[in-house]
Amino acid sequence: MRTLLIAVIIFIAIHIIRIDFSEGTIPLAAFYGDTAPQPCSESTIDSISVTTIEGDTIETLLSMYPDMNMTFVERLSTFYSLNPHLQNQEIVGGLTVKLPLSKTGVNNCN
C-alpha cells in the first residue's frame, strides 16, 4: 500500500512538472529572456510654420490644422515646446509660429 501511494505521488509530481515545462512559467521565462533591451529613441514632431494675423489665438491656430493622432493637451504642450517665447506673451499679428502636426517616431524612453 505504501508503494502504491509513493507511486501515485511521484506520478502526480512528474505530471505537474511536465505541464509546467510545456505550458507553465518556464517557457514564458525563456521567451522573455531572449528579448534584448530596446535603445531609447526620441520621437520627432513634424511642424508647420504659420504667420499669424491679428486676433489669432492658440486654439484657432490648432483648429485650422487638426491632427487626429494627438490630443489637444499633447498638441498644446508641444506647441509651447516649439515656441517657448510665447509662454508669457500674447500672439500678435505678423508673428511666425510653429504648429505641431503629428509624431513620426516612437518614444520608448522610460
Please write the tens of the pLDDT for every residue from 52-62. Answer: 999 988 899 88
Name the strand (E) or helix (H) holding 49. Answer: strand 45-51
- Tell me the per-residue pLDDT of 31-58, one tens digit each, with 9 for 90 and over: 555 555 566 666 677 888 999 999 988 8
Please give the average per-residue pLDDT across 77-106, as a whole number.
Answer: 84
- Tell me the per-residue pLDDT of 80-90, one tens digit each, with 9 for 90 and over: 999 998 888 88
**Is the pTM higher than 0.85?**
no
How open is the CA angle 22-23-29, to the nearest 5 degrees? 90
Q: Which amino acid is at 30?
A: A
Output the nine-digit C-alpha cell for 48.
Answer: 508647420
Phi, psi of 104 (to 5 degrees): -110, -5
Phi, psi of 42 (to 5 degrees): -80, 145
Output the nine-digit C-alpha cell for 64.
Answer: 485650422
